[in-house]
Amino acid sequence: MIRPLLFIVDKSIKVDYYLKNDMRENFFKNLKCTLCGASYSPEKPHNLCQCGAPLFARYEIGELKKKLERNSFDKKNLSIWRYKELLPLQDEKEIVSLGEGFTPLIQANDLAEELKIKKLLIKDESQNPTSSFKARGMSAAVSMAKKYGIKDICLPSAGNAASALSAYCAEAKIAAHIFVPEKIEPEILLECRVFGSDIRKVKGAISDCANAMQNDRNYKNWFDLSTLKEPYRIEGKKTMGYELAEQLNWKLPDVIIYPTGGGTGLIGMWKGFDELEKLGFIDKKRPRMISVQSEGCAPIVKAFQQGKEISEFWENSKTIASGINVPKALGDFLILKVLRESKGSAVSVKEEEILKSIKDISQSTGIFPCPEGAATLAGLKKLKQKGLVREDDLVVLFNTASGLKYVNTLKPLL
């Protein structure tokens, strides 16, 4: 659980072979539709399935099972690429990495005591490049785009995905065309500009940005990297699940509380757990997966409570937690499936509760969380009151980004 002091990202260093029998192979098989099951060859880039649903990467798990052990992951690699065999690229030369992933799991003992929970851990994703977990997905997706020779990528983003994409595209020499809400955090806008992205401001929420992007006359010349409209961002994000398993000695926690917007983190982790179970690295026991949203934008919570399989568009959404200001997630049916399969839940929290939780986490752990991350603590308090989290549970909260990216929004805390 302790982060090593020295971590050099040096692409000239040849990392030792890590497979049992020194074989370097690609175990990435194909892409499969999450709805109709159609499969696609990864030889060329893909967006959605013809039926309109997201595609997931599939691996030769049977072959991998023969070759890979829990401890054969590359211990020297402290990034998501530690798990290369389970990612779409293996060749170091093709990987676009800024050292994303392998973030610490920090014990929040004081908060645990206060809330009367056996053990509370915070997965601190603010320690990623560009200070959010979005870096994980962008490393995988931009690496694949570069391999395919893609020159232009477009994306609608509420913020953190925009700066992460900007950084990885700068490294990969790919042009990034990003549509952001005009109310984007100035810190994040600055990052995008510094990295040299083409930024368009749009009135409204991320859904309006997506519409503006699709109506742009150049849209057809760009590769669309929208959440779940492209299959590799989720591959990067599933590594959060691998890391949790490895950091907890291959025993998953009882509860994972995740601030849910597009849902890729949640869906990705669930996919990751599936793969680990098929490999025999973890047993059947899964965490209860819990989505937290703001009362100002809670389409998943509403659909969960109503027992629906898909969510409804949330009109006039508003929250300081911009990363979870997603009125309608493309993968809503996948999120809801994970919540139910895991016997989890969904809760919404008030804006004041989010602000208060920022201080609570900061003052008790030394982590300065983003509003989305703070929402998970506010959610946990509610869940504990309702008896949905119990005293003997091991609970993991996700702090998905740094509070420093929200200075303007968090002025009331000054």
Ligand X SMILES: *Cc1c(COP(=O)(O)O)cnc(C)c1O
Nearer to ligand X among residue 260 and residue 365 (C-beta)? 260
First to last CA, the chain: 32
Q: Which is nearer to ligand X, 97 or 227 (CB)?
A: 227
Residue placing its CB nearer to ligand X in the complex, 261 or 299: 261
Task: Compute the least distance from the CB of residue 185 to ligand X, in Å.
Answer: 10
Strand partners, 106: 122
The nearer residue to ligand X, 80 or 279, going by C-beta atoms, is 80
Quote the CA–CA distance of 271 and 242 in Å, as a whole number. Answer: 10
CB of 261 to ligand X, least distance (A): 3
Nearest residue to 349 (alpha-carbon basis) of 300, 298, 311: 298
CA 212/CA 6 separation, integer angstroms: 43
> Measured over all CA atoms, what is the biggest interatomic distance in the chain, rounded to whole angstroms?
57
Q: What is the number of the residue whose Cβ is closest to ligand X?
A: 323
CB of residue 180 vs ligand X: minimum separation in angstroms?
Answer: 12
Which residues are paired to 107 by β-bridges? 121
Q: Which is nearer to ligand X, 99 or 265 (CB)?
A: 265
Minimum distance between the CB of residue 388 and ligand X, rounded to whole angstroms? 20
Between 77 and 260, whose beta carbon lies closer to ligand X? 260
Taking the complex as a whole, how short is the minimal distance between the CB of residue 208 and ligand X, in angstroms?
A: 17
Q: In degrees to the nearest 10, what's the CA dihedral of 147, 151, 156, 160?
A: 60
Residues 6+ apart with CB under 8 A from 241: 268, 269, 270, 271, 272, 273, 276
Least separation, in Å, of the C-beta of 284 and ligand X? 24
**What backbone phi and psi angles, to 5 degrees, belong to 172?**
-90, -5
CA separation for the pair 205, 188 (Å, rounded): 16
Q: How far is the CB of 207 from ligand X (least distance, A)?
A: 14
Q: Which is nearer to ligand X, 88 or 261 (CB)?
A: 261
Closest to 215 measured CA to CA, from 229, 202, 204: 202
CA distance 251 to 272: 14
| Nearest alpha-carbon partner for 177 in 217, 127, 222 | 222
CB closer to ligand X out of 241 and 259: 259
Residue 133 CB, nearest approach to ligand X (Å): 7
CB of 159 to ligand X, least distance (A): 6
Measured CA to CA, the distance from residue 269 to residue 109 in angstroms comes to 24
Residues that bind ligand X (CB under 6 A): 132, 134, 160, 227, 259-265, 323-324, 370, 372, 400-401
Q: How far is CA 414 from CA 243, 300, 381, 411, in A?
A: 35, 32, 25, 5
Taking the least distance from each CB to ligand X, the nearer of 48 and 61 is 48
Nearest distance from residue 179's CB to ligand X, in Å?
Answer: 15
Decide: 268 and 301 in contact? Cβ < 8 Å. Answer: no
Which of 160/197 has CB closer to ligand X?
160
In the complex, the smallest distance separating the C-beta of residue 343 from ligand X, rounded to whole angstroms, is 20
Closer Cβ to ligand X, 240 or 279, answer by number: 240
**Rounded Cα–Cα distance for residues 172 and 178 (Å):** 16
